[in-house]
Chain A
Amino acid sequence: MPRREKSIREIFSNGLLKQNPTFVQFLGMCPTLAVTKSVESALGMGAGVIFVLVLSNIAVSLVRNYVPKEVRIPIYIVIIASLVTVLEMIMKAFVPDLAASLGTFLSLIVVNCLILGRAEAFASKNGPLKSAADGLGMALGFTGGIVLIAFFRELLGAGSITIWGSLKLDLIPELYQVNILVQSAGAFLVFGILVSQINKYRMNKADRNEEV
């Protein structure tokens, strides 16, 4: 039986859940841990990655037939770096506070392995529409992952959920906050626990499928 072509919807949901970049593939771990101190900066990072990944996937897929195989990686890096520079300028102009809180990690989207990985593994072999769907699915999966980590870190560590600027919910009084979670070390702890629980769920599901 020939393998069926994947539909756009399947490609999209593949990145969102089944091949989630944060919890299943472990791509782009530096920003995953560094910008999850608050939900706000995680959302900002997610928006940046959505912008760069969708556009870079489209651009790479448009030039895929003209790029010589030997120099493809440098060309992809230049495409991604130009998009990141555009993003840096936009963010510094319109949301300077957010740009400052992301700091160096805004520029480091260039070396986020998720973006180069999708360019190489998907966009260089598929058309622009499918590549856009793949980029959007992967980037949303990444955003969901880091927002989930940030949710637990900020809620338990600082007692609040900051969505945007002053749009902030204070939920836990200071006495019950676990301060270590919003410091650097806490990122490792929260991420490790979440990964182990998601692994448990996935393994149990795989076991059940085998029994049937």
Chain B
Amino acid sequence: MELIAIAFGAIFVNNVVLQQFYGLCPFLGVSTKKSSALSMGMAVTFVITLSTIIAFLLYDLVLVPNNITYLSTIVFILVIASFVQLVEMFIKKFSAPLYSALGVYLPLITTNCAVLGVAIDTTVNGSKIFGVGTDVTLIMVTVYALGISIGYSLVIFLFSAIREEMDAYPIKRNWQGIPIALITAFIMAMVFYGFGGIV
């Protein structure tokens, strides 16, 4: 039950893009076509979930026992960067269709702040997400990371569908591109407030 609440909260209530403002650059940059938004969502889901698990294990088993938690930022970014590199090499070798779908998005993910943000939020700032005094377990972190990535994919896909439709309408030239996209995101964020009443 608790896990369902974590997942629901991560997907809808505390949506990673609309509420926490993580990963906005790819959100606005890659969301002009539905197909590329879908690929980006898949790549992000894969990387966020696995790198959060790695970061959590590193934090719990290495950083905390040795009392060097102040190094977490630098350790996490190195782990994420090398993990993304590894994933890229791996799928390039073993799955050509997957590589052609995700290849260009993987290097972008290193500087997607959602990845580092979720890694830090679940470890250093863990009490803020799971409640103070909760014994945070690996399964909770995994569910949370998965929920965050599903929320990211969902929103970026919806957003790209709206933007594809919007291309058909005339928009004043000073509103074209980023400004109208930001207003669209504003309306989507208002809609997502509605989920706050459920939990």
Hey, which bits of chain A sit against chain B, CB under 8 A?
26-27, 29-31, 33-34, 74, 77-78, 81-82, 84-85, 88-89, 103-104, 107-108, 110-113, 116, 180, 183-189, 191-193, 195-197, 199-200, 203
Q: How far, in whole Å, are A74 and B110 apart by their CA atoms in the complex?
A: 11
Q: Which residues of A contact B20 (CB under 8 A)?
A: 34, 184
Q: In the complex the two chains form, is B182's CB within 8 Å of A74's CB?
A: no
- In chain B between 141 and 194, which residues have their CB closer than 8 angstroms to a CB of chain A? 173-175, 178-183, 185-186, 189-190, 193
Asked whether A203 and B173 contact (CB < 8 A) given A184-B19, A188-B186, the answer is yes
Q: In the complex the two chains form, is A30's CB within 8 Å of B74's CB?
A: no
**Residue B86 at the A interface, CB < 8 A?**
no
* Given A33-B24, A78-B78, A200-B174, 9 more pairs with CB closer than 8 A: A30-B24, A31-B21, A85-B71, A107-B73, A107-B120, A112-B113, A184-B20, A192-B186, A195-B178
Asked whether A189 and B186 contact (CB < 8 A) given A108-B116, A111-B112, the answer is yes
- In chain B between 118 and 159, which residues have their CB closer than 8 angstroms to a CB of chain A? 120-121, 124-125, 128
7 residue pairs A–B, Cβ–Cβ below 8 Å:
A26-B178, A29-B21, A78-B78, A104-B121, A110-B74, A186-B186, A203-B173
Q: How far, in whole Å, are A81 and B125 apart by their CA atoms in the complex?
A: 18
Q: How large is the interface on B (under 10, 10 to 19, 20 to 34, 35 or more residues)?
A: 35 or more
Which of B24, B179, B180 contacts A29 (CB under 8 A)? B24
Distance (Å) between the CB of B145 and the closest chain A CB? Answer: 15
User: Would you give the 0/1 interface string for B89-131, flagging 1 where the beta carbon is closer than 8 Å to chain A?
Assistant: 0000000000000000000001111001100110011001000
